[in-house]
Structure 1
């Protein structure tokens, strides 16, 4: 059973999410909250597997709450699935840097939300290729290489090529087709890239690539 905490300041959306999630045999809503402070407090107390997190909320917003939940504010880091809308997509990059395991759009079909929760709970990143292109790609010009990103690049030429394709929003299947290699080989490259760079998932790989200026 995957334990889920739903955090959204709009009661209708929050209740809708909770109803959809609770109807699934493998998912259970253990709590609901309407601001970031309550999200952190409830996460400490309830130990959910996944927090479905809104971004724009009164008081502590979802980005700061995500930073605390994914960091040292709780005994164990909590996986956060950020749910956003196009009119606040400038927050997506900040949410990913804060430690979110993935994000969805609020107008996504219910099945996408449910699959997203399961994906994040399983330890994978949820970074839909089409959303990556539309959101992160749109703000590429705002992201500059940062001093806190290690200067050494321990990747091989092919691994670097795969990283660039990941950052451009390609799925494993699309990368396999582009490079004319097998899907399993792509998975191996992705695992090596994450291990060498000390990254948690594909989301962090995208952020890393933009911060290193590998994608323009």
Structure 2
């Protein structure tokens, strides 16, 4: 097969940052690396792109092989190409973030590679430049979630307003005014109020809501900005 003359060859990989929400806490899914270098150290889900597959297909395949997860919200956000990022060989990595409802996929998680959930703010140190990838993914999610309703991917089919507000507060690491949040949320028309309540936190309880999936699709590209001081909280 013909090759480009006098050009260096390198490996192409993908890494997936998987964020999950269990109804109360925002978490990240990590695995123990199974090969050298850095064997048995905590890592993102990653692997190499095959010779006959595209990058998106490789990300979906690797996610399925390492965790058992499929058909989840997965978005490419950045490419990492520092020549020294992998001590074994020159490797360029394309990074993705995924958003999932932990309870929806808890039976699907494969434990063959010791996949384990960690609280996002208590995750262990990761190999290579994976910690930087996580920080960059958090910034991307914050920016995207202010303009598009992607955080609903982290919620169960029915949820409460306090759950949704808690999720936004954890993603942005800030407190949100309750009345302003409810007002903006109501103005989107995205939520359908249900008759039953969650009474786990109080006798009065909180009504459950579900997402209007048709409006979710049509309003995805023009979502109201929940976060008024976006520039101040992205970092």
State the TM-score, normalizing by the size of structure 2.
0.29
Richer in helix (by share): 1
Rg: which structure is higher?
2
State the TM-score, normalizing by the size of structure 1.
0.31
Which structure has more relative contact order (CA 8 Å, sep 6+)? It is: 2
Richer in strand (by share): 2
